[in-house]
A and B are shown apart, each in its own frame.
Chain A
């Protein structure tokens, strides 16, 4: 899986590349409009992470260029501009998703994975991790052939963990993923605990091995062998 990260802030570009590389992607970076344009013209990427404000031009111009040349690269816009207008314009121009800075890298990773799944037409919509099989189209989870009865939140939580397997995830990243950022955080943390407890129970009852590891009560990690 090849990704292109177009972001002019060097350290942020590096962080994204480091995190996504660790998740198993091949990452290339571009720091300005022209080098990004060159890369887009020459190579094909599974997903492009695109900042809108770039030295030398606008990210929306790059998006326009991609669409005019019938490129099928998935595009996720990351922007400091929180304006609804830019978001709508970006999505109308064919971007697949939109993330506002500052975002969690784990969230970015889930969004990228989702775009790539949607872009793949070979029907590979099932993610497997140990005993766990997640069908992302039907939104169902099976363990050793047993169907798990999960709530919407539990499903989202499990998918989030699976995509970010072997990574330490903070409670606030989980809360933002499940509820967005407009809810009272203190009470959300209790819900995370409750959801994770239920999820673990359902997995073990179905005969699976509980893969979620709690880290000192402040974070979580999904361990895969």
Chain B
């Protein structure tokens, strides 16, 4: 729910509540005033009748109207001063119940006691009150309507800078060498937001650049000493030829260098994939690439007696040729590595996805961890645990989706070219 919709909900409830309470209070006040007015006009009638009797010493001729009528009858009942009552009666003429205000008082004409009842219909009062209720409802409706209008037009315009900022943050990539700069805004809150974000992004960007430069330099600086060590061991090997123990020691060093070099190259590649903006716009024929990699690794299949089955449809997608090769190579190497001798491997490729299935030796892998760096199913493995991280990273920047599942004693890696399930 949008902030304003939430705010508006409270606002509307409060408005309606205020108007209701106000209207009810207003109704009673108005009712009280109108009844008092009615009573006063009844008193006025009483006054007039009294004056008439005083002057003429006889009962007045009464002109009854629809809203006011007077009855005079003889009585023995003595009313102290006067009394006022309200009552409802059924008006045959208008076919509805009507509230009537009645003033009763005694009249003494020539020593005869009369009871005078002056009736006034409350119809007008009710009409006024009805009108008031209508006006109130109308006002609430008008306010709600105006609120809606303000919400639609003005508020969305007022919030424009906010959405602009959010989009700018969403679209920003640290890899872009463009500086992150949000414009100054006339509204204080948005301006504060933009200034704070600008400041934050500048700091992040600077730290990122420093870290990136450090990573790159450190990696490159490491390569030369590695080359020195490797060349020296090779020279040493020539001189220790007749000493078996020495040859074995030197080759131990050599093996260490080899592992370190592979690790280093994989890390460099990962860093590069993360930090470089690769364009996925060259058509790469995945089907041919898979065939080519299968041929390269034929020896491995043969030596491990792996039965290979493929269903590869011709498939060309926009990709980065170098990354595509790494992707297929790593997936294939990984599958071979985890297939036991006399195992089975199945590769399918079509326009939607590539699927690598292979016999599993030791049950399912931890799906939550396999794409993490340096994750190894078994600690004593030859691999360095970066192959699948690289695959994952390539999929991420290419907008592909990679999934691992385990079914019928088989590891299944699927790459969907369209990210959406």
Q: Which residues of A does B touch, CB under 8 Å?
A: 9, 11-12, 15-16, 18-19, 22, 78, 80-84, 100-106, 167-168, 170-173, 179, 181-187, 190-191, 215-216, 218-219, 221
Check B237 against A219 for contact (C-beta < 8 Å): yes
B104-121 toward A: CB 8 Å interface, digit per residue (1/0)? 000000000000000000
On chain A, the residues within 8 Å of B254 by CB distance are 170, 172
Min Cβ gap A105→B in Å is 5
On chain A, the residues within 8 Å of B229 by CB distance are 102
Check A185 against B224 for contact (C-beta < 8 Å): no
**20 pairs, CB–CB < 8 Å, chain A vs chain B:** A15-B234, A19-B231, A22-B238, A78-B227, A82-B265, A101-B226, A102-B257, A103-B227, A104-B234, A105-B235, A106-B234, A167-B238, A168-B238, A173-B234, A181-B261, A185-B258, A186-B382, A190-B303, A216-B247, A221-B241
Check B232 against A15 for contact (C-beta < 8 Å): yes
On chain B, the residues within 8 Å of A173 by CB distance are 234
Q: A9-B228, A183-B297 are in contact. List 17 more A-B contacts (CB 8 A).
A: A11-B231, A12-B224, A12-B228, A15-B231, A19-B235, A78-B227, A80-B223, A102-B226, A103-B230, A104-B234, A105-B234, A182-B333, A184-B333, A184-B336, A215-B241, A216-B248, A219-B251
Residue ID in chain A nearest B221 by CB atoms: A80
If the complex has contacts A170-B254, A187-B303, are A216 and B244 also in contact, measured as CB distance less than 8 A? yes
For residue B383, CB closer than 8 A to chain A, the reply is: yes
The distance in angstroms between the C-alpha atoms of A191 and B301, with both chains bound, is 12
On chain A, the residues within 8 Å of B234 by CB distance are 15, 19, 104-106, 170, 173
If the complex has contacts A168-B247, A184-B336, A219-B251, are A18 and B265 also in contact, measured as CB distance less than 8 A? no
For residue B369, CB closer than 8 A to chain A, the reply is: no
For residue B204, CB closer than 8 A to chain A, the reply is: no
For residue B56, CB closer than 8 A to chain A, the reply is: no
The distance in angstroms between the C-alpha atoms of A216 and B255, with both chains bound, is 16
For residue B141, CB closer than 8 A to chain A, the reply is: no
Check A215 against B333 for contact (C-beta < 8 Å): no
For residue B299, CB closer than 8 A to chain A, the reply is: yes
For residue B220, CB closer than 8 A to chain A, the reply is: yes
If the complex has contacts A104-B234, A168-B241, A170-B254, are A184 and B383 also in contact, measured as CB distance less than 8 A? yes
Number of interface residues of B (CB under 8 A): 42
For residue B164, CB closer than 8 A to chain A, the reply is: no
Check B300 against A9 for contact (C-beta < 8 Å): no
For residue B194, CB closer than 8 A to chain A, the reply is: no
The distance in angstroms between the C-alpha atoms of A139 and B232, with both chains bound, is 32
Name the contact of B228 in the complex, choosing from A11, A182, A187, A218 (C-beta under 8 A): A11
On chain A, the residues within 8 Å of B329 by CB distance are 182
* Residue of B223, B237, B255 with most chain A CB atoms under a 10 A cut-off: B237
On chain A, the residues within 8 Å of B228 by CB distance are 9, 11-12, 15, 102
The distance in angstroms between the C-alpha atoms of A19 and B228, with both chains bound, is 13
The distance in angstroms between the C-alpha atoms of A154 and B303, with both chains bound, is 17
Min Cβ gap A156→B in Å is 13
The distance in angstroms between the C-alpha atoms of A224 and B330, with both chains bound, is 40
On chain B, the residues within 8 Å of A104 by CB distance are 230, 234
B210-255, CB < 8 A from A: 220-221, 223-224, 226-232, 234-235, 237-238, 241, 244, 247-248, 251, 254-255
The distance in angstroms between the C-alpha atoms of A224 and B303, with both chains bound, is 32
The distance in angstroms between the C-alpha atoms of A154 and B297, with both chains bound, is 16
On chain A, the residues within 8 Å of B297 by CB distance are 183
The distance in angstroms between the C-alpha atoms of A11 and B229, with both chains bound, is 9
B86-143, CB < 8 A from A: none
B285-337, CB < 8 A from A: 296-297, 299-300, 303-304, 322, 329, 333, 336-337
On chain A, the residues within 8 Å of B257 by CB distance are 102
The distance in angstroms between the C-alpha atoms of A173 and B251, with both chains bound, is 11
On chain A, the residues within 8 Å of B221 by CB distance are 80
For residue B277, CB closer than 8 A to chain A, the reply is: no
The distance in angstroms between the C-alpha atoms of A183 and B221, with both chains bound, is 25
Check B227 against A102 for contact (C-beta < 8 Å): yes
For residue B268, CB closer than 8 A to chain A, the reply is: yes
For residue B262, CB closer than 8 A to chain A, the reply is: yes
* Residue of B244, B261, B297 with most chain A CB atoms under a 10 A cut-off: B261
Residue ID in chain A nearest B229 by CB atoms: A102
Min Cβ gap B235→A in Å is 6
Residue ID in chain A nearest B329 by CB atoms: A182
B12-31, CB < 8 A from A: none
The distance in angstroms between the C-alpha atoms of A216 and B251, with both chains bound, is 11
Residue ID in chain A nearest B337 by CB atoms: A184
The distance in angstroms between the C-alpha atoms of A182 and B322, with both chains bound, is 14
Check A215 against B247 for contact (C-beta < 8 Å): yes
Name the contact of A172 in the complex, choosing from B255, B303, B383 (C-beta under 8 A): B255
The distance in angstroms between the C-alpha atoms of A184 and B238, with both chains bound, is 26
If the complex has contacts A215-B247, A218-B247, are A80 and B224 also in contact, measured as CB distance less than 8 A? yes
